[in-house]
Amino acid sequence: TTISAKGETLAFPQDFVWGAATAAYQIEGAARDGGRGPSIWDTFSHTPGRIADGHTGDVACDHYHRYADDVRMMAELGLGAYRFSVAWPRIQPSGAGPAVADGLDFYDRLVDELLAADISPYVTLYHWDLPQALEDRGGWTNRDTAYRFADFTRIVHDRLGDRVGTWMTINEPWVSSVLGYGIGIHAPGRASAAEAFRAAHHLLLAHGLSAQVLRDAGAREIALTLNLTPVMTPGQVSDPDLVPSAEDSEAVNRIDCLINRQFLDPALRGKYPDPVLAIMERMGGVDHIRDGDLETINQPIDLLGINYYTPCVVRSEPGEPANAAYPGSEDILFSGTHAPTTAMGWAIVPTGLSQLLTRLSRDYPEVGLLVTENGAAFNDVVAGDRVHDADRTAFFEGHLRAAHAAIEAGADLRGFLVWSLMDNFEWAEGYNKRFGIVHVDFETQQRLPKDSALWYREVIRHNGLHRERARRPTLEAVA
Ligand code: PNW
């Protein structure tokens, strides 16, 4: 029996998708196997001083060799969907030209294992591992990269399209462009506001061209995944209904345009917000935007993938210099909060997710919503064969309650994928920050489901969340 008596659980919609997400460079390792070419993350992680403790993704979770065991583990956890990314340099080592058989074979086997385990594969085509050869020709600042990505899309879809229904083009173009080209804390490590805007535009163009290819090839569901960040004043963190001053509202709107609408509006409305165009003009011009680009970018898509971790908290502060990650953010102060934080130092604000989902379904009603990432790094306590991560469970519980509230308010949320399936290479933080619901011992490669994974399995099994008062032993537990 399930605990479905009214009031005992927060039931999610019947066909709600429950799963977990990863990305190729963060888990695969096997950096030189199967004819894989170097990506910008190989170059970056092997550059001294770039990654905490000099960590690299050379071995990572060795998932390339352990994928079959990993799929078995996913099945044991009851996952209905698994979101992974395809490493472009495994398929086209120099970013162009014919596909490498070993690379395609790997993803082919992975997809078959998933389907045999009744887990739906959700494929991300770009999760930051650009072939280094393309970076040598300008990377995402070069318009041609977008066309190379369309070719890559076609190759991957030709091989996997008969079995993969859901396709995500680009993961988090804000992070790729701003952290990679704007401030240089991610690969390729460049630091120029003008380049970041160019790169962002070409990433959007790549999304549009890729979506066209997928549509023409008959893909069932096409998505763009964005790191969407509710922007709020310090007062709104604890009281979402608070009405900010006119100055604070302007600050919130400007940052919302830079981090969210710079991507949402071209993809879903075919235009850049005016404040973004004005800032782009100041930062080096808008010549990279050609006639027809916005039509290409504005492809009909089925799903918007939402990666939510933490809000952005700002207020007006005349005289404050611009924050390098937000060109044009003069006179805005980026503020801390009193909310508890994760090991990343990110404030934990579950209501940010309900706000975000409600706002998206109001402002962009034509697209379905899917949480493609939500999760947290904590300093987990390993105790024998258990990993106690009550903080992570509480984090997910809070965010699932928030997601449920948004659904009740009418948001068209189709599913929820936790970040991440297992501890992995957390980019600039290396292996020091653990986001997994499964613990990984990076010496032995042993996987150990954390308490949060066991809790998540129950959530999936019941298609819902127990209310506080359902915490007492359930019918099953006492039966
Ligand atoms: C996302 N930020 O990255 C990525 O999609 C994942 O690959 C990553 O592991 C996860 O979130 C956790 O970090 C982000 O600094 C990295 O704003 C950095 C930021 C946002 C998202």
Give yes or no for residue 129 CB within 6 A of ligand 1.
Answer: no
For atom 16 of ligand 1, the residue with the nearest CA is 175
Q: What is the pLDDT of residues 375-417, one digit of tens each?
A: 999 999 999 999 999 999 999 999 999 999 999 999 999 999 9
Q: Does 423 contact ligand 1 (Cβ within 6 A)?
A: no
Contact predicate 171/225, CB 8 Å: yes
pLDDT, tens digit (0-9, with 9 covering 90-100), for 433-451? 999 999 999 999 999 999 9
Q: In whole angstroms, what separates CA 286 from the centre of its chain?
A: 27
ipTM summary value: 0.90
Q: DSSP of 349-364, one letter per residue?
A: -THHHHHHHHHHHHHS
CA angle (310, 311, 315) in 5-degree steps: 150
- State if residue 452 touches ligand 1 by the CB under 6 angstroms criterion: no
Could you tell which of 227, 423, 429, 431 is best to mutate to test the pocket of ligand 1, judged by most ligand atoms within 8 Å of the CB? 227
Residue 258 to residue 193: CA distance in whole angstroms: 12
- For ligand 1, atom 14, name the residue with the nearest CA: 175
pLDDT per residue as tens digits for the range 275-306: 999 999 999 999 999 999 999 999 999 999 99
Q: Just list the catalytic residues.
A: 172, 373
In angstroms, the CA 116 to CA 139 distance is 37
**Ligand 1 neighbourhood includes 175 CB (under 6 angstroms):** yes
Cβ-based neighbour number of residue 140 at 10 Å: 31
Percent pLDDT > 70 in the chain is: 96
